[in-house]
Structure 1
Amino acid sequence: MRPLFAALLFVFPLIQPLPAGADEQQLPGSIEVVAELPINPGNLAVTADGRVFATVHQFRRADAQLIEITGPASYRPWPDTAWNGAFGSGPEVLNSALGIRVDRQGRLWVLDNGLGDPPLMPHQTPKLLAFALAGGKPVFRYDFPPETGPAGSFLNDLAVDDARGFVYIADVGGSQAPALVVLDLNQRRSRRFTASPALQAEDVDLVVEGRVIGPRGDDGKVKPARIALNPITLSTDGETLFFGAMNGETWYQVPARLLREGAKDAVIAAAITKAGPKPVSDGAATDTAGHHYFTDLGNNAITVLGPDGRLDALVQDDRLLWPDALSFGEPGWLYIAVNQLHRAPFLNGGVEGAVPPFRIMRVYFGQD
């Protein structure tokens, strides 16, 4: 990985926000804080005019599950307090929202994997919801049947094809095999695809702040994490689906048409090819020019895979302590949810080691 903007970062490590309308003065790799929060953002979605929405990661539950950022240190439950009610308190509650996307039809898609903490918080049925950005009214709902959202699955991230009416979901797997879940919005029918080793974690450690990350076993020793299918994106024309394991250094691609048309598992598996390298990453985003941006967990960085196959650093910043998720916002800007997830009890020997605030940041990458 070549440090494309290393010299710029050395000279300008803390570039401050410029006035509105001055983006043309920004240098690629310029990074700034959008909001500092007392609660833990999971994934995020940003509109083209800069509205910022975030889920609250279920590893650190708070007084809301879905929020809109309202200021440099403020937020509000979205769309209202009722949808942000207590876990399991009713059918119209977000129990464990994580994956989130804004589409081109003015809708916010929210993936609720339903995972709880039994026996006090028994798992709920996973569901996908869409809310109108104007007013917050729910406009779509799908409750996953056991065949495609089985108990023990972990529906984590999603890519939305609003033109054709398909949603592609990355299921990390949990106690199930990792899977691509394909939802036909028009037919209200879903499918679970598991038949490829490309969905599995690779044998590569995640090292953050000098230590190997993973849960602690009964023997008191850390078991290095091996987290499977996680980041997932879609090309602008909707024809190519990209994905990779969190614990993995390979970025894969598959023709989305095969998934839309219900091709046989063997045909889909044979069509999966390598798109290029990637870092160990929790989130990704693909722009209209075919660049793939990744959260580089081990290096507190955002890296970019260009159409030429090169993997380069866009920005490295010590504040990027577990950059979890990415979302494009205003032209030229890429937003980042930073949540110190490696310091959460599940990945930190049962001890909470985070030092708030948690952050929403953004980096300028230039025009497509």
Structure 2
Amino acid sequence: MNTTTTTMKNMASFLLINLVLTFAISAQNESKLEIIAEMDVRPGNVAVSPSGRVFTTIHPLVNPSFQLVEITGKDTYALFPNASYQKNSQSPSSYKLDTPLGIRVDQKNRVWIIDAGLNLGATRLFAFDIETKKEVFRHDFSAEIAPKGSFVQDLAVDEENGWVYLADIGNPGIVALNLETRKERRFANETVQAEKVDMIIDGKLTNFGGAPASVAINPITLSADKETLFYGAMNGTTWYMLPTKLFREGKTNDEIDQGIKVMGPKPVSDGAATDSSGNHYFTNIQHYGIDVLTSEGDLKPFIRDARIDWPDNVALGPEGWIYMTVNQLHKTPAFTGGKDEGNPPFFIYRMKLE
């Protein structure tokens, strides 16, 4: 038997094993997927409060009338914090949300939203108190830190030390903000760039903006003790880590660069969440599911289900639940180059961590 024949047989065996594994995982987990929201508009990112309240941005790629809601039932939601912050198809305004996407809820019951301001031309960070629905923080980033072409769209909040870390996929880089002093900085090197990894969905190369999708830094998370920042490109299979003290202590870009290490592998992913045990959960947009990089360094499927049609992001909630938004994003005109091929409803699901 020649080498080519042996290689082909090994590859066929590998594909068969993975196919069987995928079906087994899907069958095992299908009944565990619970619908939290069934929506006629595309949810963007989801966040869950310590008490279990669920919030979601509405994805800006489809130019929605409203931008941020709290889920109040399986098929109901309420504008958050109120109607006055929603753009409502009007002209961009510095007093209203424009194109928010990334959202987090901290342990102080504050909802944090990063608004890329794609129509406004200004990147802004907001925080609202959940109970009072009052704006408790706002920061407008300078043009130097979030220059023209930026799309700052995900964030990680360190409420203990008073810092926020953000991912800019438009001008790839990490943006760090000291919440007390309002001092901003930007860091970039090759680790924030897209890797040479194709995005293949249903056996087809996925385009974005008329060319093969090549999306830079996207998911970004923090360790439970806030001492480590994790990040990676959407079009990438490497999950990086760096000590947050390098930002807090004002280290140079060279010192930050030297502090970066590879945490482990990741799938092509649009979102991630890190739990208190050091496990990392990634949306797997190529394979209809969620993957987990365990604290031991093993990357494996967590769930596969045909209903998970472009999982946009994940969030960890109380009592051991993981939440995910599913919005068929690759079927929007930005990806198809033509009409919207998505079919509502769109979903927010959750399932128990095991």
- Given the two structures, how large is their TM-score scaled by the length of structure 2? 0.91
Partner AA of 1:228 in structure 2: A
Matched, 1:287 2:275: yes
Tell me whether 1:113 sits opposite 2:116 in the alignment: yes
Partner of 2:185: 191
The number of residue pairs the alignment matches comes to 337
Distance 1:66 1:9, change over 3 A: same
Contact 2:25 2:302 in 1 (8 A): no
Alignment of structure 1 residues 45-194 onto 2, 5 Å? 45-86=47-88, 88-116=91-119, 123-173=120-170, 176=171, 178-194=172-188
CA contact (8 A) 2:238 2:266 kept: yes
Question: 1:196-235 residue pairs with structure 2 within 5 A?
Answer: 196-215=189-208, 217=210, 223-235=211-223
Q: CA RMSD in A?
A: 1.8
Q: Which residue of 2 aligns with 1:317?
A: 305
Q: CA deviation at 1:300?
A: 0.4
What secondary structure is seen at the aligned counterpart in 1 of 2:246? Answer: helix
SS at match of 1:42: strand
Partners of 1:198 and 1:295 lie apart in 2 by: 19
Say if 1:349 and 1:7 are closer, same or farther in 2 by CA, change over 3 A: closer
Whole-angstrom CA distance in 2 between matches of 1:356 and 1:7: 25
How far off its partner does 1:330 sit? 2.2
Q: Which moved more, 1:60-69 or 1:4-13?
A: 4-13
Return the alpha-carbon distance in structure 2 between the equivalents of residues 265 and 170 of structure 1.
Answer: 16
Shift of 1:270: 1.2
- Alpha-carbon deviations, 1:149-175, whole Å to 9, x = none? 1111110100000000000000002xx
1:261 matched residue in structure 2: 249
Displacement, 1:77?
1.1
Per-residue deviation, 1:190: 0.7
Paired residue secondary structure (2:208): coil
- Of 24, 29, 42, the match for 1:40: 42
Name the SS for the 2:267 alignment partner. Answer: coil
Q: Specify the alignment match of 1:19 in structure 2.
A: none
Higher mean alpha-carbon deviation, 301-310 vs 207-216, is at 207-216
Counting aligned pairs with the same residue, the percent is: 44
Q: Is the 8 A contact 1:48 1:330 kept in 2?
A: yes
Letter in 2 for 1:69: I
The CA deviation at 1:85 is 2.6
SS of residue matched to 1:331: helix
Q: Counterpart amino acid of 1:94?
A: L
Q: Please tell me the residue identity of whatever aligns with 1:270.
A: Q
Alpha-carbon distance in structure 2 between the residues aligned to 1:358 and 1:10: 20
Deviations 1:37-93 (A, max 9, x none): 000111110113221100011111222100111111111111100001345443220
Looking at structure 2, the residues matched to 6 and 317 of structure 1 have their Cα atoms a distance apart, in angstroms, of 9
| Post-superposition offset of 1:209 | 2.5
Q: Which amino acid aligns with 1:124?
A: G
CA distance in 1, matches of 2:136, 2:209: 42
1:93-115 CA-to-partner distances (Å, cap 9, x unmatched) read: 00011110000111000100000
What is the distance in 1 between the residues matched to 2:26 and 2:55? 31
Structure 1 equivalent of residue 6 of structure 2: none
**Contact 1:314–1:365 under 8 Å retained in 2:** no
Task: State the alpha-carbon separation in 1 of the partners of residues 50 and 302 from structure 2.
Answer: 21
Q: Any conservation in 1 of the 2:26–2:303 contact (CA below 8 Å)? A: no
Unaligned 5+ segments in structure 2 are: 1-13
Contact 1:14 1:32 in 2 (8 A): no
One-letter identity of the residue aligned with 2:337: G
| 132-141 vs 4-13, which moves further | 4-13
Point out where structure 1 has 5 or more consecutive residues left out of the alignment.
Answer: 16-29, 117-122, 218-222
Which amino acid in the other structure matches residue 68 of structure 1?
A: E
2:226 counterpart SS class:
coil
Distance 2:64 2:36 in 1: 20
Q: In structure 2, do the counterparts of structure 1 residues 107 and 235 end up closer, same or farther at CA, with 3 Å as the change threshold?
A: same
Q: SS of the counterpart of 1:262?
A: coil
